[in-house]
Amino acid sequence: MKKLNTKTMVISSFLIALNIVLSRIVTIPGIINFGGFPIIFGGIVLGPMVGGIVGGVGDILSHILRPTGPFMPHFVLTSALTGIIPGIIAKVLKVDWAKPALWKIFVSILIGQVITSIIMVPYFRNILFDHPLMVTMTRAASKQAVNIPAYSVILKLLVPILYKAGTLKEADI
């Protein structure tokens, strides 16, 4: 496991702030929310541990700054896993960040989002708030049908640029 250095902590802090802004401020509740992108970016590019930290800390701070209901640690877990799972899958698929394959990024994000956003969140909403499971799963799947390809394309375009510019180095990824 790679140690957290100053550069990684600064980038992680930026991703946490971006997660809060995108999930609580620049959003249309129930329709548009891109708060998962910074978490996934952190997990895939900086590693599963960083992705988990970005997701967990971002969710807790989001709730403190702008609560949208009671605090539920179940959702902190899903936010952390939103960064951890794609990070692990990207490592298993050995994504080459100098020239990444879109399908590897897509599969990494797809597996993570299916587990967290389409299965876990609706399940927790069902057991905690009695929301109908199939309705919330269907709604989540339709949102992820847009988010997963969008996140994949953005990562495919953004990371090689950051890599070539020297912002990200082989040691960082």
Residues 6+ apart with CB under 8 A from 125: 131, 136
Q: How high is the mean pLDDT of the chain?
A: 90
Q: How far apart are CA 4 and CA 26, in angstroms?
A: 29
Nearest 5°: phi and psi at 122? -60, -40
Q: Per-residue pLDDT tens for 69-120? A: 889 999 999 999 999 999 999 999 998 877 889 999 999 999 999 999 999 9
Tens of pLDDT, residue by residue over 49-75, are 999 999 999 999 999 998 888 899 999
From CA 121, how far away is CA 67, in angstroms rounded?
17
Kindly report the pTM of this predicted structure.
0.91
Q: How many C-beta neighbours within 10 Å does residue 63 have?
A: 18
DSSP secondary structure letter of residue 62: H
Q: Which fold has domain 6-165?
A: Arp2/3 complex 21 kDa subunit ARPC3 (1.10.1760)
